[in-house]
């Protein structure tokens, strides 16, 4: 009895004294780990931010391209350096096959080109957009937190470009449309009227997907507000293809999210669109005429639709003459006149947005699938479009796993032992939505212009979701959720023994 107090006080005092220093070391290491984790995706975010800069007067068609095109090489270099420092295989076998499949068709089409210089330029562009930049983005994104940072970068860029576009529409400083300079084009200029529409569509789909993030009410409210605001610049872009693709993508996102949440989000977005568009009267009559023209493309097509149909027919005719490898990369303009009908005009008129009148030549069929079919043949279409479909299948399969985890009893507890990916519903919706948007938009557009590099970033982000190996999936944790022991083990930080106080 007399010896009990000394025995209790002796060994416990050093342990209690050492506890604050151990806690301080762990708490100081935690923000450093968070900063290091976010830093890897910053090059991709900077690449997206560069698209807010005004494009050169030649639309980025010069030898140097745009600043975003030049910086994409830096992003690829960062990914290579990151992979070398990690000393591990950078891509899984599935990712290597899906991302490397287009190289087969691109190489074969380059060999079939009549001009070596044209083939080299086309090869570099296709590899940049569909292989190198997507692979780099896939490698630089490490977890769902970084994926959401990139998604919000899409939304931020869309808000900036959309605000500029709405200002152009209201002040009559946009691109020429129906005799008035009211078409919203953002900083992309009248030569790339699809640029702002693409950026705003990406941002709208991203905002709608982020509105379904579990256990984040403030983010959901902010994302839903951004989605409603972005309907205004999308409307005044007067881009029928972007409208159709966005409607299809948003429908898929809402369908995958679930009926109850989908109905709530749809009602809120519709109300915001009605208030902002109909209430403010932003070109309502022109919008109605543009919408009605979608259903009249066969009865009373305008000249732009007639030109598009003529170039589509020319693309199919080129493929019939060169069924396997096509006419070669960048070969459509050279073979266009020999296969097009007399209904094709010499070009399209562009003006406004700080530029004078210009006759823009028709250099592509405005259909990515037919462009690939005519220039790369059946081999190129199967390898390129086949890779996109494979990526979509992988993304949908991972969405199905997230859905199953959300419905399981374990995933509903919210405890530290929950399965990885439980809180990644918004990531799944974003990846599937962007892929569906891109596949639908490629029916009315193709690559070209300053905004093309954003397509590469979007494909890379979707690739991270669909092609991430299961080992990385199991190691990923949602942002802000501690590990089971509170914090990860750090080198040099002593760990308390089980049962130690």
**Angstrom distance (rounded) from CA 390 to CA 196:** 28
User: What b-and-e string marks burial along 30-39, b requiring 16 or more CB atoms within 10 Å of the CB?
Assistant: eeeeeeeebe
165 pLDDT higher than 90: yes
How far is C-alpha 304 from the chain's CA centre?
28
In the block, residue with structure tokens 């010499």: 346
H-type helices in 172-295, by residue range?
Answer: 193-210, 217-236, 240-257, 259-273, 284-294
Whether the predicted pLDDT of 408 surpasses 70: no
Q: Please report how the helices 368-407 and 452-467 are oriented relative to each other, as an axis angle in degrees rounded to 10.
A: 40
Q: What is the mean pLDDT of residues 13-28?
A: 48
355 in Cβ contact with 189 (< 8 Å): yes
In this predicted structure, the answer to whether residue 81 has a pLDDT above a threshold of 80 is yes
What phi, psi does 122 have (nearest 5°)? -65, -40
pLDDT reported for residue 424: 86
What are residue 180's phi and psi, to 5 degrees? -130, 145
Phi, psi of 221, rounded to the nearest 5 degrees: -65, -45
Q: What is the pLDDT of residue 367?
A: 92
40-45 mean pLDDT: 93
For residue 316, the model assigns a pLDDT of 93
pLDDT class of 151 with cuts at 50, 70, 90: very high
Cβ pair 468, 277 in contact under 8 A: no
Rounded average pLDDT over 376-391: 94
Residue 492 has pLDDT above 50, yes or no: no
Q: Which one is predicted more confidently, 88 or 69?
A: 69
Domain range annotation of the chain: 102-116+155-406+421-453
Q: State the chain's mean pLDDT as an integer.
A: 79
Q: What pLDDT is attached to residue 290?
A: 67
Among all chains, which residue has been given the structure tokens 């009248």? 190
Is 180 or 99 the better-scoring residue by pLDDT?
99
Considering the entire predicted model, what is its pTM?
0.82
The answer to whether residue 428 scores a pLDDT higher than 70 is yes
pLDDT value at residue 419:
43
- 3-state helix, strand, coil split of the chain in percent (to 5) is 65, 5, 30
DSSP summary character for residue 153: H
In the structure, what pLDDT confidence band is assigned to residue 412 with cuts at 50, 70 and 90? very low
Region 193-219 average pLDDT: 91
The more confidently predicted of residues 378 and 485 is 378
260 or 117, higher pLDDT: 117
Query: What are the C-alpha distances in Å from 495 to residues 11, 219, 484?
Result: 17, 36, 14
Q: What is the pLDDT of residue 484?
A: 34
How much is the pLDDT for 65? 73
pLDDT mean over 246-265: 83
- Tell whether the model's pLDDT for residue 131 goes beyond 80: yes
Give 482's pLDDT tier (boundaries 50, 70, 90). Answer: very low
């Amino acid at each position: 009895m007399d010896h009990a107090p000394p025995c209790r006080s002796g060994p416990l005092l050093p342990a209690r004294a050492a506890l604050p220093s151990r806690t301080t070391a762990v708490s100081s290491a935690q923000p450093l780990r968070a900063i290091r984790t976010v830093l890897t995706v910053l090059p991709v975010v900077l690449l997206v931010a560069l698209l807010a800069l005004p494009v050169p007067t030649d639309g980025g068609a010069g030898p140097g391209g745009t600043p975003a095109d030049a910086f994409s090489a830096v992003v690829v270099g960062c990914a290579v350096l990151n992979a070398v420092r990690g000393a591990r295989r950078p891509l899984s076998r599935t990712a290597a096959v899906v991302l490397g499949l287009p190289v087969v068709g691109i190489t074969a089409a380059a060999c079939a080109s009549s001009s070596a210089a044209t083939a080299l330029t086309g090869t570099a562009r296709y590899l940049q957009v569909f292989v190198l930049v997507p692979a780099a983005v896939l490698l630089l994104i490490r977890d769902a937190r970084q994926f959401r940072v990139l998604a919000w970068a899409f939304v931020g860029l869309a808000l900036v470009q959309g605000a500029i576009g709405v200002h152009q529409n209201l002040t009559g400083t946009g691109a020429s449309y129906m005799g008035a300079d009211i078409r919203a084009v953002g900083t992309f200029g009248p030569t790339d009227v699809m640029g702002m529409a693409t950026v705003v569509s990406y941002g709208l789909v991203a905002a709608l997907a982020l509105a379904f993030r579990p256990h984040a009410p403030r983010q959901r409210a902010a994302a839903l507000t951004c989605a409603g605001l972005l309907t205004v610049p999308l409307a005044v872009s007067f881009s029928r293809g972007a409208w159709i693709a966005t409607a299809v993508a948003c429908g898929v996102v809402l369908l995958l999210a679930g009926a109850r949440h989908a109905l709530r989000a749809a009602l809120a977005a519709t109300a915001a669109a009605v208030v902002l568009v109909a209430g403010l009267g932003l070109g309502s009559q022109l919008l109605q005429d543009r919408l009605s023209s979608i259903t009249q493309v066969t009865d009373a097509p305008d000249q732009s639709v007639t030109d598009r149909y003529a170039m589509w027919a020319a693309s199919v005719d080129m493929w019939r003459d060169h069924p396997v490898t096509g006419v070669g990369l960048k070969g459509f303009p050279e073979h266009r006149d020999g296969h097009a009908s007399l209904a094709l005009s010499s070009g399209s008129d562009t003006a406004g947005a700080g530029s004078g009148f210009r006759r823009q030549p028709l250099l592509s069929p405005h259909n990515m699938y037919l462009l690939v079919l005519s220039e790369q043949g059946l081999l190129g279409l199967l390898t390129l479009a086949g890779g996109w479909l494979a990526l979509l299948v992988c993304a949908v399969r991972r969405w199905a796993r997230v859905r199953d985890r959300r419905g399981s009893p374990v995933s509903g507890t919210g405890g530290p032992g929950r399965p990885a990916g439980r809180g990644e519903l918004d990531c799944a919706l974003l990846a599937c939505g962007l892929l569906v948007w891109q596949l639908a938009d490629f029916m009315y557009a193709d690559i070209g212009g300053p905004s093309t590099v954003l397509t590469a970033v979007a494909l890379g982000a979707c690739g991270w979701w669909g092609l991430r190996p299961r080992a990385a999936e199991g190691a990923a944790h949602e942002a802000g959720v501690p590990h089971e022991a509170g914090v990860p083990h750090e080198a040099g930080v002593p760990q308390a023994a089980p049962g130690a106080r």
